[in-house]
Amino acid sequence: MSMGFLLFEVRRITRARKFWVVAFLFPTLMYLMQANLFSGEIAEKTGVDFSSYLLGSLAAFGALFVALNVGTRVAFERSSGWQRQLRLTPLTATSYLVAKLTTAMVVALPAITVVALTGFALEGVRLPVLGWLHLVLGVWAGTLPFALLGVFIGQIASAETVQVLTTVSHMLLGVLGGALFPSVAFPQWMQVVSAVMPSRWLAEIGHSAFGGGQTALAAAILAGWTVLLGGAVAWRYVRDSARV
Amino acid sequence: MNAYPRPNGESMNEAIGRLPAAVSVSGLHRSYGDVRAVRGVDLEIAPGEVVALLGPNGAGKSTLVDTILGLSRPDAGEVRVFGYSPREAITRGVVGATLQDGALLEDVSIRELLTMTASLHRAPLPIADVLRRTGLTDIADRRGKLSGGQRQRLRLAVTLVSDPSLLVLDEPTVAMDVESRNVFWASMREFTSAGRTVLFASHYLDEAEEFADRVVLLRAGVIIADGTVAEIRSVVAGRSLSATVPGVTLDRLRGLPGVVAAELRGQRAELVCADSDATARALFARFPEAHDVEIGAVGLEQAFLALTTDSATDSAADRAAVGTTESEAA
């Protein structure tokens, strides 16, 4: 692990202004729009109002949205020749991938926080301090498999296909996983599909900050995804390094 | 500074005698699909040598360079850099490389890029020192677009950060303006005056002639000549003759008496002649409109031409490579 390279990567991502505008605005606006369009209480969770429930969903979406976008930069750095350039330095491919993952985690935290602050300031969502910590830090910890997924997409995609793959992943995870729109309104078959999506369980961690919810099950499923996607990244890494 | 500190009381020659070769390539083969890019190369470069690697496009220069740097794995044969494997040499910072189109980043400043690179090495040079040597001090904090020459100097700066004992350069001065080129070679002289080794692949024969101690000529994946500039020139006996000959073809030039090798650039014929008097007489007899005739000693460029187009003992693969050179020249 190279600290110098990690700081360099974090500095680069903090400079990508367009990246931050989209990362902050999109989840926040989706939250505000839905919180104002619909109101009332979530039927299955008595006492939790809609804007609170949505906050859990959109905090999760904000996190996975930016985490995916960091990893996929790997594809551009391969096609631009930057990775080849790095191979002329002592930096190992493992350090490179670990730095990308860490950077994805670093940017996910403010993305989650912005959604949470919006809920607090504009929608009057109230939680005890521990509840906020559960929401922000819990969702943040659960972001790891999405950071891995982003890196994996970066490994397998070309500079031409990476945008499409990322957008499709955003949509599948956001819509089918019920992070972008609440899955409670889904028909039965979509509920079933939703149950295997990691984003469904990341949102569950957000929802559980407001009481109830299956935090332990969500954590276990996300851990499973972490192992699966971590294995995929490692497999691809071994394949790429054998093909010199 | 030096990767090989020598014990007190030992002379430089004794120290060099025990050092492993800066580059040692033996029995190297590398194919890409059906293309046999390198087919049996042996090359030893002693510490302190400045070696130019020359050859037409497709001769295998880049493949050889990539293999020495560990970017490409040989199908057969072995590569050692100061006794290390290529990757180990990179990790230890004893070899640095500037590639022709090495990627740079536009979202970081020159200083930031160099600082990050320095953080990866065990004993980097001070950044200010590297900036000064490459003439980048004034624009060190600039981000974004750089000119072609500035980019190439930055690539060199990134390479120099680790203070390597061996510098590998692939077409180092391509896309450089005159000023950048001067700064570049000045920093190279500073670099080699401390006894470091340089291997550079180039298209510019005048740079090889001026700068290299030794020239290695590659054609169709094999080394066809290896020696000092003077030795390479002396391999080709005879004189060079160039003339503007309207309407001539390469075949008719080759048909002239005494011609060893011929090249045509537009209407300008470049000939290497065993008997330049006989060639000149025949040239004027067959092409009365020939003008601007110059006859002189064979330079590196003409020697290069003669060596890379001599087809007397060529295999089919060699002829294919020669065909490439001619079509590019035409």
pLDDT tens, position by position, A214-243: 899 999 999 999 999 999 999 998 887 765
**pLDDT confidence of residue B318:** 39
Q: Contacts of residue B99 in chain A, CB cutoff 8 Å?
A: 84-85, 88
Q: In 3D, which of B73, B90, B214, B109 has the Cα closest to residue B159?
A: B90
B34 interface with A at CB cutoff 8 Å: no
- The answer on B282 and B153 residing in a single domain is no
Residue the block writes with tokens 């979530």? A42
Distance CA(A107)–CA(A219), nearest Å, equals 21
**Residue B45 in contact with residue B21, Cβ under 8 Å?**
yes
| pLDDT band per the 50, 70, 90 thresholds, residue B56 | confident
Is pLDDT of B119 > 90? yes
- Write down the pLDDT at residue B321: 38
pLDDT value at B12 more than 80: no
Q: pLDDT: is A53 or B307 the higher one?
A: A53
pLDDT band with cut points at 50, 70 and 90 for residue B18: low
pLDDT band for A59, please (50, 70, 90 cuts).
very high
Q: What is the pLDDT of residue B96?
A: 93
In this structure, is residue B2 part of a structural domain?
Answer: no
CA B212-B216-B219 angle, 5° bins: 140
State the alpha helices, DSSP H only, in chain A: 3-15, 17-37, 50-71, 73-79, 82-86, 93-122, 129-133, 139-141, 144-156, 162-171, 188-196, 198-208, 215-242
Residues A151-178: what's their mean pLDDT? Answer: 90
Residue B3 lies in a domain: no
Residue A102: per-residue pLDDT: 94
Identify whether residues B190 and B61 lie together within a single domain: yes
**Same structural domain, B286 and B322:** yes
Do B263 and B195 share a structural domain? no
Average the pLDDT over each of A99-108, A153-162, B188-197 and give the range with the smallest value.
B188-197
List the CATH number of the domain containing B123.
3.40.50.300
Do B244 and B227 share a domain, yes or no? no
Strand ranges in B67-206 using DSSP code E only, listed in sequence order: 76-81, 95-98, 166-170, 197-201
Cα B238 from Cα B259, distance rounded (Å): 10
Higher-confidence position of B304 and B89: B89
Which residue on chain A is closest to B97 by alpha carbon? Answer: A88
CA distance between the termini of chain B: 48
B5 within a domain of the structure (yes/no): no
Q: Does A91 touch chain B (CB under 8 A)?
A: yes
Q: Do B103 and A87 touch (CB under 8 A)?
A: no
Average pLDDT over residues B10-17: 53
| Token pair for A201 | 């369980």
Kindly tell me if the per-residue pLDDT of A42 is higher than 70: no
Evaluate whether B265 touches B305 at the Cβ level (below 8 Å): no
What's residue B161's pLDDT? 94
Lowest mean pLDDT among B41-55, B110-124, B305-319: B305-319
Stretch among A151-160, B36-45, B161-170, B253-262 having the lowest mean pLDDT = B253-262
pTM (2 decimals)? 0.79
B112 inside 8 A of chain A by CB: yes
Tell me: do B113 and B18 sit in the same domain.
yes
pLDDT over 50 (residue B1) = no
Q: Which residue has the higher pLDDT, B144 or A134?
A: A134
Alpha carbon B104 to its chain's center: 22
* Chain B nearest-CA residue for A17: B107
Tell me which residue range forms the domain holding B247. Answer: 236-329
d(CA B84, CA B94): 9
- Residues B248 and B302 reside in one and the same domain: yes
Tens digits of residue pLDDT in B234-269: 777 778 899 999 989 989 998 899 888 888 888 899
Q: Which residues of A touch B86 (CB under 8 A)?
A: none
Mean per-residue pLDDT, A194-202: 90
Q: How far apart are CA A243 and CA B225, in angstroms?
A: 32
pLDDT at residue A109 tops 90: yes
B222 and B74 fall within a common domain: yes
Does residue B212 lie within any of the structural domains? Answer: yes
Lowest mean pLDDT: which of A105-119, B13-27, B128-142? B13-27
Tokens of B217: 């000529």
Mutate to test the interface with A, among B120, B151, B154, B168 (most CBs of A within 10 A): B120
* 3 state DSSP class of B269: strand
Q: Choose, out of A89, A94, A103, the residue to mutate when testing the contact with B (most B CBs < 10 Å).
A: A89
- Determine the pLDDT at residue A41: 62
User: Is the same domain home to B23 and B115?
Assistant: yes
Confidence band of B67 (pLDDT split at 50, 70, 90): very high
Residue B7 has what pLDDT?
45
A121 at B interface, C-beta within 8 A: no
**Amino acid symbol at B102:** G
Taking contacts as CB-CB distances below 8 angstroms, the residues of chain B near A4 are: 115-116, 118-120
User: Residue A15 contacts by C-beta under 8 Å, 6 or more apart in sequence?
Assistant: B107
Q: Closest Cα of chain A to B225: distance in Å? A: 29
Domain assignment of residue B7, yes or no: no
Residue of chain B minimizing CA distance to A16: B107
How distant is the Cα of A103 from the closest Cα of chain B, in angstroms?
A: 16
Q: In what order do the strands lie in the sheet with B259-265?
A: B259-265, B268-273, B239-244, B291-297
Number of domains in chain B: 2
Give yes or no for a contact between B134 and B172, defined as CB atoms under 8 angstroms apart.
no
Residue A81: closest C-alpha in chain B = B103
Q: Token pair of A118, please?
A: 């919006």
| B197 within domain boundaries | yes
Query: Is any Cβ of chain B less than 8 angstroms from the Cβ of A241?
Result: no
The reply to whether A84 touches chain B by the CB within 8 Å rule is yes
Same domain, B242 and B215: no
Confidence of residue B323 (pLDDT cuts 50, 70, 90): very low
Residue A238: what pLDDT?
Answer: 82
The verdict on residue B6 lying in a domain is no
Q: Residue B220 — left, alpha, or beta (φ > 0 → left; ψ -120 to 50 → alpha)? A: left
3-state helix, strand, coil in chain B (%, to 5): 40, 25, 35
For residue B317, tell me if it sits in a domain: yes
For residue B311, the model assigns a pLDDT of 46
In single-letter form, the type of residue at position A66 comes to V
Q: What is the pLDDT of residue A213?
A: 80
CA distance A58 to A63: 8
Provide, as residue numbers in chain B, all residues whose Cβ is less than 8 Å from the Cβ of A81.
Answer: 101-103
> Is the pLDDT assigned to residue B330 strictly greater than 50?
no
Domains in chain A: boundaries: 3-242
Of B71, B99, B117, the CB nearest to A89: B117
Give the number of other Cβ atoms within 10 Å of residue A188's Cβ.
6
Residue with the two structure tokens 């995609």: A157
Q: For residue A235, which amino acid is it?
A: W
A12 touches chain B (CB under 8 A): yes
Check residue B6 and report its DSSP letter: -
Separation between Cα atoms, residue B153 and residue A10, nearest integer Å: 26
Residue that the structure tokens 């990866």 belong to: B120
A94 touching B, CB under 8 A? Answer: no
Residue B91: its H or E element: helix B86-91
Instruction: Please indicate, yes or no, whether residues B74 and B172 belong to a single structural domain of this protein.
Output: yes
Closest CA–CA distance from residue A21 to any residue of chain B (Å) = 17
Least CB-CB distance to B103: which of A16, A80, A90? A80
Of B24, B183, B30, B39, which Cα lies nearest the Cα of B95? B24
* Whether residue B112 sits in one domain with residue B243: no
Shortest distance between the Cα of A49 and any Cα of chain B, in A, equals 44
